[in-house]
Structure 1
Amino acid sequence: MTPLDHLLAKSEQHGKISLVQHLHDVAAIAVQVAKSMGLDERIAYKGAILHDIGKASAQFQKTLAKGFVRPPKFVFRHEIASLFFISLIEEKDRPAVIDMVVAHHKSVYKDASEMGLLDLIDSMEDCFKQHAIGFSSWVSDALSILQHFGFKVRPITESEARQNFDEVITYCEAKKYGYSKWKGLLIASDHLASAIDNEVSPIITRLFIKPDLSFYSRKGELFPLSAISGDDRREHTLVTAPTGAGKTDFLLKRCRGRVFYTLPFQASINAMYERIRHDLRNTDAQVHLLHASSALKMEGKSLEEKILQRHIGASIKVLTPHQMASLVFGTKGYEALIADLIGCDIILDEIHTYSATMQAIVLKIVEILCALHCRVHVGTATMPIILYNRLLQIMGGKVNVYEIVLPDDVLDTFNRHIIHKAECFEELEQVIENAIESKKKILIVANRVTRSQDLFDRLSDQYPQVDKMLIHSRFKRARRAALETKLKEEFNESEEACIVVATQVVEVSLDISFDLMITDSAPIDALIQRFGRINRKRTRDTIGHYKPVYVLAPDNKSDAKPYDIEILKRSYEILPNGELLQEKKLQEMIDQAYPEIGFIDIDLNAVFVDDKWRIKELWHHPKSALLEILDIDSISCIEETDQALYESADHVERAALEIPVSYRSIVFNKLEQLKTGTKPFIIPSKAYDPYLGFMAEYAKPEFYDVILRFL
């Protein structure tokens, strides 16, 4: 306890943490982050202590009072007041400390809320004077706190505070292009400390643990990649191999440090998280899942485990590339992401599966990762040679990239599917009937959510006695998690007939193995991924045994979405019909389907071009418009009957209620939107069904329950 514990960093409703405690916690974490980044731990400590000292101001403390209402035009940025004490820092250390303090909440210029330091200089008559109100009454408290933390202090007059303020403005105005490691260090440390309301020591001991990945050097005669050494000293890796060849093990045994493992879909990352966590259960590796629904995977875990999921320092972090896109666009927090990523091993699994725009973003991410001295490891079962060569070029060519391709005789042992073409779903009704009678497990894959819902409705009417499930991305997160568990544990192991209707969420790394597939046409590489869910289990008994896959002919341009109809037609044309799909011919087929790739140029939107940063240090951009319009589940909504529960819930309970949806499917519907949590849109209850999920056609204000809206 100190005599200054009455000064708070957070209000009672946000945990009532004292300023002294918060500064102690941020500094303890910052020292660990600095150690991991190879930065001066002494400077990290000083900057962390100074970063929030402006919260000692009475102007800030009154904002924490219960019921405080911000007066019109009231402006007080505590980080600006913190800079009044910069002259207590040795001159040689000041640039790093200023970087840590001045922009840990706001971009210094063109901030989204126009509250950055240089924004306020332009918009306020006297920014310093506003922030120095009552300075003489709180400066002694601030100095006492700094002294408590080991600073050599002396009186600071208001005149000296103004000189410090002016020095910082001059410094910020002269900033050059690049990013600030120190800003990233402080943001990462501050976010983690702010999430903790108890002792930080147990958290700190679990940060930046290099994982013991020796488990993945295991050998298995059925897995040919396990016989290939991962010790090649080239930095990066490109592995092309079929599903079941041991790609995951090989990519992980290539890693030498902390690991970021990326996959395209939530179902994929959930499954990979569970797999790695199980594999490394007897080590001290900290395996984290970075996703909006990750809180649901942490039920029953300790508070520390739940907190760490969202923050810096994991041994292995499983995520989607969308969660690294801030690197490309320089959006808020990108420097903190760099602080976590720099020098790590990054695995990009099934990179080819993305839309053209997202693929361009992923390629740019690879370019930035290489510049950050990360080791990049790419694994794929299917990739057009044009995309492969582009990746090879970005990663520095053959001299820097360890390439693995299995020989034809090995690929022949992975043949497992007989492909049949069909004009329409209706002509396969007898195939379904026969499969049900033979107690087969049937997987039906549709390209669009609405199409999957229609097929599920039809099959529910036709086969009421058969166990069935619909799974896609647009269920409440808790419901989606329950469906994934049921799919893997009940349907996957069932001895009875069952039907699963799904979208692309089953394409990658979901460990299920069904007996028969019916699928909409898709690009050949996506189809091959889907086929991997049929006859997936690789044993001595299954090698040489084949199971059927039925591919529906592409129809019109509208029904082809989200894919290009011409690619669908080429892909469908080159598939065999009534014959074995040969693994050794897949690359040839893929290259026929993609004779060229029109790579999208995103350099106008990117902040890293031609090995140079095009954003100034201490700046960051508002949310990227390019990322917003991607057809990914980038926003969330909740059912109108869940509104009251959502508003009173914690972040775990809120995540359970959220339904992820794409930006374009809902943002222009003029729905109400909450200001809490992830700011979800409120959809009518008619727009959600527990078995069908989100139904976009009813997500409109005219379908609201009038009584609920009135109440």
Structure 2
Amino acid sequence: MEVYAKSKNKMLIGKEKKQLEQDISNILEELDMNLDTKEKEAIEKEMTEILEGKPEYQKTLVEHENDIVKCAETFFKQFDIYFTEKEKRLVIEACRIHDRGKVNLLFQALVNPEIIEKGMIEKGRKSRQIPHGFLSAVSISKGEFLSLSELFELNDFGAFITAINYHHDRMDEYDDLTIYNYCKEFYTEQAKEYLGVDNWKIHCENRNQLLFRNNVYTFNRVKDLEKWNQYLLIKGLLNKFDYTVSAGYEDAELYPDLEEKQLKKNIEIKLENKGLRPAQKYMKEHKQNNLVIIAPTGSGKTEAALLWLDGEKGFYTLPLKVSSNAIYSRIKETYSYEPVSLLHSDSMMKYIQEYTHTEAGPYERYERAKLLSAPLTICTVDQLFKFVYKALGTEIFPATLKYSKIVLDEIQSYEPRVIATIIYGLKTICELGGHFAIITATFPPVLQYFMERYGLHNEIEYKYQNFAQESQDIRHKVQIRESDIDIDELIKYGEKQKVLVICNTVIKAQEIYNEISEKVENVHLLHSRYIRCHRDKLEKMIMEFSQDEHKTGIWITTQIVEASLDIDFDILYTEMSTADSLLQRMGRCNRKGRYYPKNPNIIVLANKNGVGDKSVYNSFIYDRSLQILKKYENIDFSEILKIEYINKVYCTEEIKDSKYYQEIERYLEHFDEIPPVEYSKREVDKAFRNIRSITIVPDSIYYKNQDIFEKGLELLQKPHVGKTIKAVFTSKLNSLTLNLNYYSNNRLPEGVDIVTLGQNGRKKGSDIHRARMIYEFNEENNIGRGLLLNQLENDDFIV
């Protein structure tokens, strides 16, 4: 009898197909005006594929094993130079035997109805199935393991067996006797037949070799860092190849650029007439080194980093999704590099917008992005650095980063928790053999101090180069005011110039916008409390406004424009923030050095808005940043002086008593001490930024789009709906929502429903909460204050 790897997908019969077709047709008809052309095309294409679908071929276990081994072998041919022969053999052999436990009768009864039909197992028998990974891990002896390759040593066995045991993230509450008895009843004879070995037996003693146990009873510790890193590699690549094959793909990596170096060539052609700038030349020449590069805004850091990648697999990380979107589009359009991938929580929306019939569907592109398959992926750091929490299911990230290069843009922009995550993660990446480049306009000394404390030493693990002195342009002159903004002055400048206002809080930005918009029309607002589709419009508008040399007016914003958003204004009014944030903000004014500032063009408002322990900025670093900034007031604030300024503010010895320093230190120590499986992958996703947030839809938006929410949620809960169709509707719903951060541990913000949309009794529903807060936005001219926190609609509010 055949042994199968998984169940056959249920095919729709005639009546079911007709019903599904009717359901989706009805929804499309009802929502016709609310879906754009791209969304309709993606839905219709997948609907055709579902209706024309042929019965799925059910793969045998042998075929699945062969496919995953072939996937691994193809991968190692492409990326041969990054791995030792032993590493390759360990991964391939883990691929070969990781699913062997599926031979057991209870698993086969689930995937093959003939088992029950032929009476091989009693019909209706209820026995708890032991996860097949645990069975696979006791299916090979130490001697058999050593015989697989002359390169293998007994010291390799623990990491190898642990990777197989936990290749699925399962709780392990079984004792050896339970596993032995289970194997005796459901597995041993089947394994003998499958392997063709009469004297085959299980080896429960292997469980003593596991590096850790995933249960609540065992105290785990990483005793041997070398073994832990070996486990990360085997488990991570095993998962990568297994996920790839199970998803129906043959190759784990798409379009490797190692030989063609197409992106590098395209950049060099674009820069041919201008010539390479110093930072670009340096990074190109030091492509084999880890780097920390200090280069001012407008010095071509992005292109420098892409030249450093040199065609190798790369990840380019940025602090914000809007920045990621901008770099992704720039690489795709300016440098004509199609294989680039985008990975963050809203990237599916981008894939739908780009969809054409000639390429893979949006869900497939998103799925391949999550499998880390692209030669270059633009992403946010939370997508890659979860592995520092040692959670099961995150091993694919360090394993992939072993043969990749990672670029970290503006590392100082992150909060202490994320900075600690990055530093600890880079240490692991370096130990595995991966490479990193930090590119930034400023690099506080305290970060270099913590890097050294955790084994990343200048001139040993990386090279440090400061290009601030290369820029002779004087772009900024600072004036500090111990007051709020002068509205009349702002309006006067806005009549003839591009004026940018950056506030520390959304509420303050809304207040200033409200006051100015009553007096003039050429004013716009951008912050994080717009629903996604409106925010996308505003982000596009501000960039178009910035690039149009004939436009004048005022944009009032928050920190979301700080990092890597390519905008250039004439004058900046900014509330005082911490030094790193302030310098980032300055980079949005006179970015290209278009003029010499005879008068101050950076007006800093020292009003302490958004400052405090539970606010946006830490009081100690804020006060320090302000006092030291006064030394640079009303002088030419050169790039060299900016570096001097940030170095003084973040002088390691002088900030050791600050919350900023202590948080980085505390989290680094925490990552050192975390035992394996202390966190689940889900918990890591929530913990990464240490901010509680919920997804909300304002009532006015909900009522206006009630059909989309009701029909969309209804469709998402129907069986047999294709992944692309689900992704389109999920993305559509998300585009009408926003994330609202809150810090209370006891209750949701006032006006937010506890029950989510679609939730009914035990029926889970969505993760979207309705919010009875006022939401302002005019879609004809893209103006309005967005969500007004703590301002509720009247109870009798009707749209």
Q: What is the one-letter code of the residue matched to 1:672?
A: V
Q: Is the 8 A contact 1:467 1:497 kept in 2?
A: no
Written as runs of structure 1 = structure 2, the 5 A alignment for 1:441-452 is: 441-452=498-509
Q: CA deviation at 1:430?
A: 1.4
Name the CA distance, whole Å, in 1 between partners of 2:346 and 2:607.
34
3-state DSSP class of the match of 2:316? strand
Distance 2:397 2:772 in 1: 37
For 1:276, the aligned partner's letter is I
Distance 1:523 1:203 in 2: 43
Structure 1 residues 559 and 566, CA gap change in structure 2 (3 angstroms): closer
CA–CA distance in 2 between the matches of 1:351 and 1:520?
A: 22
- Residue 206 of structure 1, aligned match among 245, 249, 255: 255
* Aligned counterpart, 2:402: 342
Map 1:211-230; keep pairs closer than 5 Å.
211-212=261-262, 213-216=264-267, 218=271, 220=274, 223-226=277-280, 228=282, 230=284
CA distance in 2, matches of 1:171, 1:203: 30
Offset, 1:192: 3.1
Show the 5 A alignment for 1:261-340.
261-281=316-336, 286-299=339-352, 300-301=354-355, 302-303=360-361, 304-340=364-400
The total of aligned residue pairs comes to 658
Please state how far the C-alpha of 1:511 moved relative to its aligned partner: 0.7
CA drift of 1:43 comes to 5.5
Q: 1:319-398, aligned counterparts within 5 Å? A: 319-391=379-451, 394-398=455-459
- The answer to whether 1:602 aligns with 2:666 is yes
Q: How far apart, CA to CA, are the structure 1 residues paired with 2:538 and 2:159?
A: 49
Structure 2 counterparts to residues 242-261 of structure 1, below 5 A: 242-256=296-310, 257-261=312-316
Work out the CA distance in 2 between the residues paired with 1:345 and 1:46. Answer: 27
Q: Structure 2: how far apart are the matches of 1:309 and 1:206? A: 13
TM (normalized to structure 2)?
0.70
Q: Give the structure 2 partner of residue 48 of structure 1.
A: 95
Q: Is 1:417 aligned with 2:476?
A: yes
Q: Deviations over 1:178-203 (max 9, x none)?
A: 14121111112233334x34xx2476
Structure 1 unaligned blocks of 5 or more? 107-114, 145-152
Task: Name the residue aligned to 1:529.
Answer: 584
- Retained in 1: the 8 A contact 2:244–2:250? no
Structure-2 separation of matches of 1:186 and 1:346? 22
Q: CA deviation at 1:231?
A: 1.8
Whether 2:234 is the aligned partner of 1:182: answer yes
Q: Is the 8 A contact 1:236 1:402 kept in 2?
A: yes
CA contact (8 A) 2:516 2:523 kept: no
Say whether 1:240 aligns with 2:282: no
Pick from 634, 643, 648 the counterpart of residue 587 of structure 1.
643
Deviations 1:22-41 (A, max 9, x none): 55554443334555352665
Contact 1:26 1:193 in 2 (8 A): yes
Residue identity (%): 22
Deviation sequence 1:557-605 (CA, Å, 0-9, x none): 7578211223323333424555543323112222333343333323676
- Cα deviation for residue 242 of structure 1 reads 1.2
| Equivalent residue number for residue 648 of structure 1 | 715
Secondary structure (helix, strand or coil) at the match of 1:637 reads strand
Q: Is the 8 A contact 1:418 1:548 kept in 2?
A: yes
Q: Tell whether 2:711 aligns with 1:657.
A: no
Matched, 1:30 2:86: no
Corresponding residue number in structure 2 for 1:109 = none
| Amino acid paired to 2:459 | K
- Contact preservation (8 Å) 2:293, 2:440: yes
Say whether the 8 Å CA contact 1:635–1:661 is kept in structure 2.
Answer: yes
The code of the aligned residue for 1:292 comes to: S
Label 1:398 to 1:22 Cα distance change in 2 as closer, same or farther (>3 A).
Answer: same
1:183/1:336 contact within 8 Å kept: yes
* 8 A contact 1:441–1:499 mirrored in 2: yes
Distance 1:72 1:647 in 2: 34
Q: For the residues of structure 2 that align with 1:325 and 1:405, how far apart are their CA atoms?
A: 26
Moved more, 509-518 or 229-238: 229-238
Cα displacement (A) at 1:693: 4.9
Q: 2:581 and 2:510 mapped to 1: Cα distance?
A: 21
Conservation of the 8 A alpha-carbon contact between 1:686 and 1:698:
yes
Compare 503-512 and 626-635 and name the one that shifted more: 626-635
- Which residues of 2 match residues 485-564 of structure 1 at below 5 A? 485-490=540-545, 492-493=547-548, 495-538=550-593, 542=595, 548-555=601-608, 558=611, 561-564=615-618
- Counterpart code for 2:208: T
Structure 2: runs of 5 or more not aligned: 13-49, 114-123, 149-156, 214-222, 703-707, 717-725, 778-783
Question: How far is the alpha carbon of 1:543 from its aligned partner?
Answer: 6.1
Q: Residue 441 of structure 1 contacts residue 497 of structure 1 at CA under 8 Å; is this kept in 2? A: yes
**How far 1:103 sits from its partner (Å)?**
0.5
| Alpha-carbon distance between aligned partners in 1 of 2:775 and 2:129, rounded to the nearest angstrom | 42
**Closer, same or farther in 2 for the Cα pair 1:455/1:678, shift >3 Å?**
farther
Letter in 1 for 2:175: I
